[in-house]
Every structure is written in C-alpha cells, then in structure tokens.
Structure 1
Amino acid sequence: MFRYLPRAARSTAVGSASVRATARGRYFTSSAASSRQRTSLVLAAAAAAGIAITYKTFFIPSIKADEGTDKYPGTKQPSGQKLISFEEVQKHTKHDDCWVIIDGNVYDVTDFLEQHPGGAEIILANAGKDATKIFKPLHPPDALDTLAPSQHLGPVDPLSMPEPTEEEPTEEELRIEEARKKLPPVDSMLLVNDFEDWAEQILSGTAWNYYKSAADREITAAENQDAFRRYYFRPRMLRDATHGSLNTEFVGMQTALPIFISPAAMAKLGHPLGEVNLTKGAGKCGIVQGISINASCSLDEIMSAREQNQQVMFQIYLNKDRKASEALLKKVTELGASAVIFTVDAAWRSKRTRDVRAKAAVAPPPSSKDQSKSKAPLGVSQAISGYQDTNLTWNDLDFIRKNTNLPIIVKGIQSVEDAELCVQHGVQGIILSNHGGRQCDFAPAPIDLLYEMRINKPELFDKIDVMMDGGVRSGADVVKALALGAKAVGLGRSFLYANGTHGEDGVVRLCQILAEEITNTMRNIGANDISDLKPELVGPAGPWVYGNAPPWAGKSKA
C-alpha cells in the first residue's frame, strides 16, 4: 500500500485529486498549498508510494475478514454513523494490529503487511497516522477497493484530529523549487536530451534514480545509445523534397509518427498526473502508447483519458498466479486495447544499481541485532516486480492467446533465432529490446540486432512486424532504424523525463521535436515518405570499401 522514499528524494507532488501548478512551478493542490504537515518519514515515503498499489490492484486478492465484528470503540452520530477517534487510531501501530487513515477514513491493513512489495516497515512507520499525503499523490482512486469491506473501518472523527503544523521545507524541496524557477518554457526544448538534462535537476532523487537506473555498471544502457554512431546515412540527391508524410502502421495500428511510447512504469514519480499525461499527449500527437503493467495510474483512468479511437498497447508480465493474468488480459481486451505486449527480457530481476543505492542510503539492510529480512531497502524496480513469474516458456504465448484475441507483440527479442521462433509461434510483432539496459550488462544493442537481422535474415521483415527500442535520442536514430526495417521505434525514458519536467505539454513537445528531426533527416537523405526508407540509405560508418559495404550497397534503383 505504501512505498519507501528517501528523505533526500521527496516529491514535490502532494495529495489531492485536484492538482494545479503554482507560479513557482511546483505541483501542489489547493488543500496542500496552505499546509506543509510533513514528518520526515511521511515525506520519505511519498515518491515511492505508487509502487505497491499497481501490484495490489492487479494481483492481490481481497483479504477475507470476519464480517460484523465490532473491533473498536467509536462515537455514533444521530444518523447511526460511527466516528473513530484519532486517539483510538493511534493505539493500532503494531505488526499484528495496524491501522492507517486515508482521506478521512480508517483502514485495517494488518493482513496486508506481509504482502506489501515494499516491505511492512514503511506501513508500520505510518501506522496510527494520517497517511493521506503519502498515499494520494501516487495512487489511483480505486486503490483501496480491493480491501475487504471489514477492513474499511469507518470515518475518523474530524474533531479529534490534531491541527496541522507548518514545517520548514527540506533541502531536497528547496533544490527542486530553485530548479523549477530556472526551468525553460517547453518551447525552448530543442533536443530530446534537453528533457533529460532538466529532469536530472527537477526530479526527486527517487524519481531520477529509478528512471535513469540500469543493470550493474550500466554498460548496456550506454551502448544502446553509442551503437547508433556506428551507422551513417548514404543520402541520395535531386529528389523532390517538397511533400511527404510520416504516417505509418505497425501491427494494424495507425500512427501519425513512426514512434511509440514504450511501456515505462511509475510516471507519477515525475508528475502527479502520471500516465494520464502520456495518454493525453499521445492522443494529441496521434501516436500509440504502450501502457506499463506497473503504471502508477489505474488502467481505468488511463483508458478513460484516451481520445476517440485512440489506440494503445498493454504490456503484461505474467503473474505467478496465472488466474490474475487471465483476469487482467480479459479486462484489457474489454477496455479496448489494440495489442498486448508480452515482455520477456526481464524474466529474472536484475540489480538496478542507482535505484538500489538511492534506497539503501536511507533504508540500510537490517543490523546484526535484527536479521529479519526487509524489502524496504530494495529499489523501486525490485519492489514492483515481486509478482512476476520467472518460469516463462514459449508455451506461454498459447496462454496469452487463449485469454485475448488481441495481436501479440513479444518485447525483448535479442537474437535472430528467437525472432524466427516468434514467427513460428504466430505472433504479430516483435520489439528488439534489452529493457533499456536494465536486463544485464553486455546485452546487444537493439540497432545492432536490427542490422544483424537485415544482413542474415532479411526475409523475416516480410513475415513479422519488427520494432525496436533502446538508446533512441533523436529523429536521426529513428530514421536509421526505419531504413533498416523497423516498422516503428519506441522511447520510454525520454517520455518520462518530458512528463516530469513539463507534464502533458512536455509529452507533446517531445513528439514535435522528433517529428521535426525525422522529417528533416528523411528529406535530406532523399526520402519523402516512410515507405521510401530503404536499407541502401544507411550502413556501417566509414568508407564502404574492401568488404565493409553492406550487401545491398550499390544495388538501389535511382
């Protein structure tokens, strides 16, 4: 239900459904703007607070409890409604008796403690307290619906609640406030990397470390970007560049740009409206959004934010409890998703070094006096992935197909051999990906895989729609991938950064930057439409002589 956030990584987003941006650029609500009641531990949990609810909303069954049992004393109003005093709530702060207050209502979360992916400690640290400001900024409105009715104990007596107290802003809050004062307007962002550069200054420590983190020494993450430098264009001249279009299609989905939003979790760590901003921005720009199964907004919220006929894909990790995955697949299908992305490149959890260090700095492992295991020091990535099944096989494609009639895209393919197996198993698309460098060090760069496939198995591009993500930081990167055979190219982190700095406007501006760069690059290498992008327009850097030229060099028609 709650997640741990280091004191040095506090979000500027505070709770309420009605969010507004202050003149200073920090996100506040009307109720929170006048009050800063934040204990150090309360704010320490805020930015990570959305992790468990995604897990819980989709995967944890309602906990049964005895019905009709009056566990607590309370004051009854003339209407018969019982009010629970704050004094009574304060008594329930133990591992076997744990209550919290959220939005003026009291909940018994005792039975949920051990199931919490972020560990029981953060809940216990806020037991007997009003946890609204931790809970609200990062949780969907239906977050508490999965608790049994008996765990909804009733409203707290407002007259018994202590008066809110003012507290000095923390060093982290002051840093973010000063950075937001300097943040340029969204139209001043000219490059994809501009959003990343500013996100490092604007975001909380927890958000930045989660978004930026990659496996181990982050060699793969760096190589994903650097690999694009190995490929250069072979421009053709004297072609009419007056007209053209970026419209294209992949896996039956129409898109105004040859890009899509790769499934990326926890958008609320960067902005209180989270994935809803991504959905609205994608709708305005006519691109396809991949919805993360670990999104910090509810699936209903995201789907409701779509424009008419807006197409989205839903990412799924298979649950250890296959019944939970079965129910989720059916829900996604009923809500109108256009495709299912089966992510296979993170079957075993990796060490996301930045993320883990950010947590361990304020939540160290248990001391020698207390050797009980704790999930609290885990990073965001590990905390949200506890439900994922590590026993994945090719037969699981049949399970997915049995529970949805949507096209299936397998994300995380990293060899030509597995691409061929995807064709044999009848999936409609693949995404060449190493999870943005989060899988392991020395995984192959997706652009290299794309080139390898073009060289060794060009016929595969006629049998299955091939996409890729990882390391894309410019329109030129997109064009290289398209010329080598990709139907579309995904970006994940960049959209999280843009959302974190400028919200929905940032998402739209990122699309505009990419559209401009893709158009400029295409027209200047002799391609007006996406269909004009052919392999002969790109190849390895350097002179294409003495066997260095790709097999198609010099074979193009004028």
Structure 2
Amino acid sequence: MIRQLPRISRASVAPVKHVQRQTVPVFRARFASSSSSSTASSSSSQRTSLVVAVAAAAGIALTYKSFMPSIKADEGALSSKTDKYPGTKQPSGQKLISFEEVQKHTKRDDCWVIIDGKIYDVTDFLDNHPGGAEIILANAGKDATKIFKPLHPPDALETLDESQHLGPVDPLTVPEPEDEEPTEEEISIEEARKTLPPVDSMLLVNDFEDWAEKVLSGTAWNYYKSAADREITAGENQDAFKRYYFRPRILRDATHGSIDTEFVGMKTNLPIFISPAAMAKLGHPLGEVNLTKGAGKCGIVQGISINASCSLDEIMAAREKGQQVMFQIYLNKDRKASEALLHKVTELGASAIIFTVDTAWRSKRTRDVRAKVAVAPPPSSEGQEKSKAPLGVSQAISGYQDTNLTWNDIGFIRKHTNLPIIVKGIQSMEDAELCAEHGVEGIILSNHGGRQCDFAPAPIDLLYEMRINKPELFTKLDVMMDGGIRSGADVVKALALGARAVGLGRSFLYANGTHGEDGVIRLCEILAEEIQNTMRNIGANNISDLKPELVGPAGPWVYGNAPPWGGKNKA
C-alpha cells in the first residue's frame, strides 16, 4: 500500500526578529510496497535570530570570499606594526587598540575596519573588492560586523596577510550603539512576517515564492528572482512545461510503488536535487546550512554553490551520516586556487563535482542591478575616482571566474579529483554529445535559470529534442535538467523523457527565506506528494515505469507503431 506523507505539525513562525524553528519529524519520502515500512524520527531545532538590518548591507554584497577569510593570528602576539598605535596592554601582554585610534584610519590610503571586535587594515584590499571600494570606505573607522557577517562565511578573512590583522579593539572605548529607527522596508517585512502562514499551510511550490516576495528584503528578492535582460528565458523555462501533456494508462495496480532513484551513483529518496544556488544567507541567517540539514532529513542530494554564503566546512559538518552532496565549481582565473579547492572538496567527502559552464560571460541581471544600494563615498574620498565595480550581488561575487574555458578543462578537473564529473549548463544536443565523448559521468541541461543568455532554449525542450534525435545519449551518460520546475508534474514529465533527476534552485532559496529548514523540508514533502500522485494517475508505480510514450506535445498527436523516438507502441 502506498504510504501517505507524514503530517508535520508546526506552529506559525514568529515575527521577523525571531524565527522559531519547531521540532519536526524526519522526512523520508519512501513509497514502498505494503511489506515495506518507513520510519520517522524527530530532530530538535534551536531558536535563531533573524537580523532585519541585513537588507541594506546585502545590496552591496560585501563579498570578501576569495580575498579575505578567518582570524587565525594569536591575539597575544601582535605584529610590530600594532605597537605604533596607542592602546591598553593587558597582563597577558596583549594590546587592545582604542576605538578612537580606529576612527583615524578612514581614507583610501589608510583604511581600517572592525569585524567581530577585531581590527583589520584593508587598505591594500580596496581596489580588489568585487563590490567596490565605496562600501568599505563608507564603513572605514567603524564596526562593520553588522554588514559583513550576515553575508559571509566565518572563514571569509583568511587570505588577509597576518600583518593586516591588527588586533582586538578595546571594548571599554567603543561607544554604545545608537538606537536606529527601522526603515520602511524593515517595518514592511516585520508586518508581513506576522501574517506569514505556518509552513504546513504551504500547499504548492509557488506558495513559497509568493510569500518570499513579501517577507524578504528587496536585495534578497531581486537577487534570487533576477534573470538576464528582459527575463524572456526565465519565464519560458516555466511556460515550456505547458507544451507537454501526459498520456495516462489505466487499469494498472497502483497499490505498490516507490519514488526512490539514483543518478551518477548517488541514491536519493526523491528524483530531485538542490541545484547550486548562492547567497542563501540573504534569506535566512543560517543560510546554506538549512539547505544541507533539510536535504539530509529528506534524503535528497544537495548541490553546494561555490559562492555559498556559508563556509564549505560549515556545510559539510552539517551533513547527516552518509549524506551525499555535490560541489559546484567555477574555474578560477588562478588555476592553483581551483586545484586546491578540488583537492579539499574531495578530501571532505563530496560525491560529485558539478562543472558549471553556462556563464561564459557576465550578464546583466536586470532586477539585481536595479536593486543595488547606492553608497555615498565618505568625505575623505572626495575628488577620488569612483570605483567601476559591478553593480549587483551577482556580479559582485563572480569576479574571480575565468571566462577562458575549453573542453580541455574537463581533463584539468579530472587530474585533480577522482570524483564523478557532471557538466552543468548544456544548451545544445551537440555539446551533450561532446560531453559523452569526453567521458563525463553526467550532464545537467540548464540555462542557469535564464540568468545568463536571454532566449536560450528551455531545458525541457532540449530534453525532448534529445529524446527524439539522439536517444542513444541517454545510455552514455546520466542526463539531468534544471530550470522552470514548479510542480511534481513537471518533475514527472522530465523523468518520462529520460532525465534521471531534476534540480530546483530558486524554490529552495524561497522556502529557506520564508521558513528556514522547515521550509526546505516542506518543499520536499509537496514535491514528493505531487510526484507520487502524478505517477500513479498516469499508470507508473516506480521511476523505472516512466517511459517517453507517457508524455508528449500538448494537443492531438498520434504516433501509432512508430513513435518519434523509435521503438514500438507497447501496452
């Protein structure tokens, strides 16, 4: 007998400043035969604080990721440079630098900031900051923790030279923070959070998106929702699924069944995965860790973005025992950095590498650019040339990416890891064939959610084109797709046409932004229910029962004994 989805009782989340994460049952979406059993255990979550003030800071995307990472220096052994500045010496020998001294260093050629009580000289970093020098100069001589922390992993300061770690600020000299009046946006978000329904009230995938627009900051919403130019492809990714309808078969026993499957050697309770999606902290202070924990509880595979706002160590540590993840890589202009990262990911226990190739050139992600936060340069920078840094979050976090990519780079990746390689961003049959020739284990048909090339083909259309013209490719490598998936029916259409699994990116970011980890779990529940219902109603009990003859172009069509993908019409 097909088991019903477990009901999860959750109270409504609290207003914006305190999101309550309730205890929820572990979700295992297994729909097995009547002889099988599924169990549910529970995990306790702790109360976390949602910082409203992230919104304004996030627009600049103060992304030190590749340049500045975590504090390792021994606080008791300051460099000789620190000794030049007045401060209080503790019995341990450690010197505390006064806040008054920090306030003197506010110029482009002499710039300090405080983060988590530690003082950093970021003068040499100004010209390298992907988000531009202005945001740093506007916070020079100040405590920038509130701006920095919500968007960056804890290891985001490591590449600063040790001499640029000046030491701790004297807490007795730091003035009490002034009470700030909430902005109109903060007030609006807090009011929207009060009316946010409990997570169990979310019945459709789009429910999370609808509420995310109301409760996320403008910066977060516009970064998540943004797409290239006029956003034609982003819309078409979803609309294209309307061109395909099912051809249900009847009088088939629907008592038994399973939606478990496997792709590129990774087993999953659902035929879905979390597509690599960056900056989850824009929506929730726990960021990608929520995605990892939710994926672990639901038994699905997470694709970790190289631009995640949590550190790789944090994310990997949040996994359940045996939980499988894929790591997305953009190759760095400095190939040595990519080599080191590939070795690290392999050692940490990732199950596959996703090589993203559909960002050959920077795109204009219009919403993201429009939503940029204008930061006025401080008086000390008057007369200086304004930075030509990127204008949106997307561009601010991608400055390290190499645009000089070739097919030889698959060999480069293979040289530095023994993990399966999945090439993400295939947008033509010809390139799918070349991937097979280069021996990769899998491909993801994707146009980056419509965020790169407007008028790129919808992945579901490319999947159908491959099924008709190159069916043999499905036996040479595992084919996945992402882009436009908004329901379990969409998932089933893709599986019937030959996809081994499908990815969702934005939807998981929205669910994380509205309900945190509980939202991630609930999204999986919705998809599991819809996938199961759709499959049984078209005559497929198991994933292996999904065949091309069960789906086709909308409207009347007849293939008789010669379907367009070849073979015989079998009952």
Q: Is the 8 A contact 1:50 1:268 kept in 2?
A: no
Counterpart of 1:184 in structure 2 is 197
Matched, 1:390 2:403: yes
Counterpart of 1:537 in structure 2 is 550
Equivalences, count: 524
CA RMSD after TM alignment: 2.7
Counterpart of 1:435 in structure 2 is 448
Which AA in structure 2 matches 1:130? Answer: D
- What is the correspondence of 1:333-352 to structure 2 with a 5 Å cutoff? 333-352=346-365
Distance 1:425 1:299 in 2: 28
Counterpart of 2:229 in structure 1 is 216
The structure 2 residue matched to 1:165, chosen from 165, 175, 178, is 178
Q: 1:101, CA displacement in angstroms?
A: 1.0
- What is the correspondence of 1:512-551 to structure 2 with a 5 Å cutoff? 512-545=525-558, 550-551=563-564
Distance 1:391 1:252 in 2: 30
Distance 1:483 1:96 in 2: 61
Q: Is the 8 A contact 1:293 1:316 kept in 2?
A: yes
Counterpart of 1:151 in structure 2 is 164
Counterpart of 1:205 in structure 2 is 218
Distance 1:373 1:302 in 2: 37
Distance 1:282 1:546 in 2: 40
Q: Is the 8 A contact 1:260 1:489 kept in 2?
A: yes
Which AA in structure 2 matches 1:68? Answer: S
Q: 1:166, CA displacement in angstroms?
A: 1.2
Counterpart of 1:362 in structure 2 is 374
Q: 1:554, CA displacement in angstroms?
A: 9.2
Q: Is the 8 A contact 1:416 1:453 kept in 2?
A: yes
Structure-2-length-normalised TM-score: 0.87
Distance 1:465 1:450 in 2: 12
For 1:89-141, what per-residue CA distance to the aligned partner results, in whole angstroms no more than 9, with x for missing partners? 00000111111111111111111111111011101100000111112222222
Q: Is the 8 A contact 1:536 1:554 kept in 2?
A: no
The structure 1 residue matched to 2:15, chosen from 14, 21, 24, is 24
For 1:415-437, what per-residue CA distance to the aligned partner results, in whole angstroms no more than 9, with x for missing partners? 11100000000000000000000
Counterpart of 1:125 in structure 2 is 138
Counterpart of 2:36 in structure 1 is none
The percentage of aligned residue pairs carrying the same residue is 83
Q: 1:488 to 1:31 in 2, by over 3 A?
A: closer
For 1:388-436, what per-residue CA distance to the aligned partner results, in whole angstroms no more than 9, with x for missing partners? 1110000000100001000000000011110000000000000000000
Q: Is the 8 A contact 2:368 2:392 kept in 1?
A: yes
Structure 2 unmatched runs, 5+:
1-11, 21-45
The structure 2 residue matched to 1:242, chosen from 242, 255, 275, is 255
For 1:362-383, what per-residue CA distance to the aligned partner results, in whole angstroms no more than 9, with x for missing partners? 3599xxx968352456100111
Q: 1:375 to 1:211 in 2, by over 3 A?
A: farther
Counterpart of 2:64 in structure 1 is 53
Which AA in structure 2 matches 1:26? Answer: K
Q: 1:268 to 1:238 in 2, by over 3 A?
A: same
- What is the correspondence of 1:107-118 to structure 2 with a 5 Å cutoff? 107-118=120-131
Matched, 1:320 2:333: yes
Which AA in structure 2 matches 1:498? Answer: A
Distance 1:202 1:67 in 2: 45
Q: 1:466 to 1:401 in 2, by over 3 A?
A: same
Which AA in structure 2 matches 1:53? Answer: Y
Q: Secondary structure at the match of 2:273?
A: strand
Matched, 1:80 2:93: yes
The structure 2 residue matched to 1:380, chosen from 393, 396, 400, is 393
Counterpart of 1:16 in structure 2 is none
Q: 1:35 to 1:116 in 2, by over 3 A?
A: closer
Q: 1:27 to 1:143 in 2, by over 3 A?
A: farther
For 1:159-211, what per-residue CA distance to the aligned partner results, in whole angstroms no more than 9, with x for missing partners? 11111221221101000000000100000000000000000000000000000
Distance 2:365 2:290 in 1: 26
Q: 1:28, CA displacement in angstroms?
A: 7.8
Distance 2:114 2:291 in 1: 31
The structure 2 residue matched to 1:306, chosen from 299, 311, 319, is 319
Distance 1:413 1:485 in 2: 15
Q: 1:153, CA displacement in angstroms?
A: 0.9
Q: 1:87, CA displacement in angstroms?
A: 0.5
Counterpart of 2:306 in structure 1 is 293
Distance 1:384 1:246 in 2: 37
Q: Which moved more, 1:459-468 or 1:130-139?
A: 130-139
Counterpart of 2:471 in structure 1 is 458
Structure-1-length-normalised TM-score: 0.89
Q: 1:32, CA displacement in angstroms?
A: 11
Which AA in structure 2 matches 1:168? Answer: E
Matched, 1:413 2:404: no
Distance 2:518 2:156 in 1: 27
Q: Which moved more, 1:135-144 or 1:210-219?
A: 135-144
Counterpart of 1:9 in structure 2 is none
Matched, 1:68 2:80: yes
Distance 2:543 2:453 in 1: 33
Counterpart of 1:423 in structure 2 is 436
Q: Is the 8 A contact 1:223 1:445 kept in 2?
A: yes
Distance 1:553 1:509 in 2: 39
- Off by >4 Å, runs of 4+ in structure 1: 27-36, 48-51
Distance 2:474 2:294 in 1: 30
Which AA in structure 1 matches 2:323? Answer: Q
Counterpart of 1:7 in structure 2 is none
Q: 1:536, CA displacement in angstroms?
A: 0.3
Q: 1:546, CA displacement in angstroms?
A: 8.9
Distance 2:79 2:411 in 1: 40
Structure 1 unmatched runs, 5+:
1-20
Q: Is the 8 A contact 1:536 1:555 kept in 2?
A: no
Q: 1:551, CA displacement in angstroms?
A: 1.8
Counterpart of 1:467 in structure 2 is 480
Which AA in structure 1 matches 2:510? Answer: Y
Q: Is the 8 A contact 2:426 2:444 kept in 1?
A: yes
Q: Is the 8 A contact 2:212 2:513 kept in 1?
A: yes
For 1:490-512, what per-residue CA distance to the aligned partner results, in whole angstroms no more than 9, with x for missing partners? 00000000000000000000000
Distance 1:534 1:57 in 2: 50
The structure 2 residue matched to 1:141, chosen from 128, 149, 154, is 154
For 1:341-372, what per-residue CA distance to the aligned partner results, in whole angstroms no more than 9, with x for missing partners? 0000011010000000111x63599xxx9683
Which AA in structure 2 matches 1:24? Answer: P
Q: Secondary structure at the match of 2:453?
A: coil
Q: 1:45, CA displacement in angstroms?
A: 4.8
Q: 1:35, CA displacement in angstroms?
A: 11
Distance 1:49 1:272 in 2: 17
Q: 1:33 to 1:145 in 2, by over 3 A?
A: same
Q: Is the 8 A contact 1:48 1:269 kept in 2?
A: no
Counterpart of 1:477 in structure 2 is 490
Q: Is the 8 A contact 2:150 2:285 kept in 1?
A: yes
Distance 2:519 2:424 in 1: 26
Distance 1:330 1:119 in 2: 31
Q: Which moved more, 1:106-115 or 1:217-226?
A: 106-115
Counterpart of 1:279 in structure 2 is 292
Q: 1:34 to 1:543 in 2, by over 3 A?
A: closer
